[in-house]
Amino acid sequence: APVALAVAAEPWSGQDGVISARRSFVGFAAEVDHFVVGGADDAGMRLALVGADHPSITMRRYEETSRGEAYEVEFAGTPVTAWAGSSAEWEAAQANARVRQAAYLVGLAQAALDHAVDHAKTRRQFGQPIGKFQGLAFRLSELSMHIDATRLLVHDRDAAAHAAANLAAASDLARTVTTRTMQIHGAAGMRSDNDAQLYYRRAAAESVRLGTPSRLRRESWGT
């Protein structure tokens, strides 16, 4: 079932099988069936699984376009379905969240590329669409190749085992593709009615949500 990770190394209040906490920048909170809520108490860092449809849960979407599908979620006496406290359970939850984020970034890159291709088909210079020029055509083809390669990594059956490295690759991909999309659109890409700036802003925020690429690579290399 779809699960959102709402974790912070902050204290929470909990008693009789319920928790109360507020978590910021929870991705895709409106689309999930459960939350994995993390927090610190006298027993240390623990995870609680709660149902997303409980009336004690309230959500507020961040409306700034750069933050994408991110929400502030408040749990006010929310019943806990199950507890998890081992390091292995925490690592599994974190890996699955990173795989989902990597898939989102690949999709974001694909949408940005599609937007750039549409522009290259309709924008004309010297009597022909700019997509006819080899320099731009080769650049778009290269971006498409990188997207396909990263998608294979993210959707591999062992993706969770390499979640940090895959997320780093997807983060770099999203930043590169959305930057090139902005360049292809030129000054028009910065207008509020042009999705090029929207993809660029979301990539800037989403590519570091669960760790910067350099940090993720150091973690995957064990350094």
pLDDT tens string 2-50:
777 776 666 677 677 888 999 888 888 999 999 988 877 776 677 889 9
Compute the distance between CA of residue 85 and CA of residue 194 in angstroms, rounded to an integer: 46
Residues of the chain with CATH 2.40.110.10: 3-85
pLDDT in tens, 119-154: 999 988 888 888 888 889 999 999 999 999 999 999
SS3 10: strand
pLDDT at residue 85, rounded to an integer: 65
Q: List the structure tokens of 75.
A: 């749990």
Please determine, for residue 65, whether its predicted confidence score (pLDDT) is greater than 60: no
Compute the distance between CA of residue 162 and CA of residue 156 in angstroms, rounded to an integer: 10
Compute the distance between CA of residue 157 and CA of residue 159 in angstroms, rounded to an integer: 6
Sign of CA dihedral 173, 175, 178, 182: negative
pLDDT at residue 157, rounded to an integer: 86
CATH topology of domain 3-85: Butyryl-CoA Dehydrogenase, subunit A; domain 2 (2.40.110)
Taking all residues of the chain, what is their mean pLDDT, rounded to a whole number? Answer: 87
Mean pLDDT across 76-88: 82
Q: List the structure tokens of 116.
A: 């750039």
Mean pLDDT across 98-123: 94
> How far is CA 23 from each of CA 10, 59, 76, 202, 212, rounded to the nearest angstrom?
9, 10, 12, 20, 20
Please determine, for residue 155, whether its predicted confidence score (pLDDT) is greater than 70: yes
Amino acid at 223: T
Mean pLDDT across 77-89: 81
pLDDT at residue 96, rounded to an integer: 86
Say if CB 99 and CB 160 are below 8 A apart. Answer: yes
Helix, strand, coil % in the chain, rounded to nearest 5:
55, 25, 20
pLDDT at residue 84, rounded to an integer: 76
More confident residue, 85 or 38: 38
CATH architecture for the domain at 89-221: Up-down Bundle (1.20)
Element (H, E) at 71: strand 70-79
Say if CB 27 and CB 57 are below 8 A apart. Answer: no
Residues of the chain with CATH 1.20.140.10: 89-221
Please determine, for residue 89, whether its predicted confidence score (pLDDT) is greater than 80: no
Q: pTM of the full predicted structure?
A: 0.75
pLDDT in tens, 161-199: 899 999 999 999 999 999 999 999 998 888 988 999 999
pLDDT at residue 9, rounded to an integer: 60
Residues in the chain: 223
Element (H, E) at 156: none
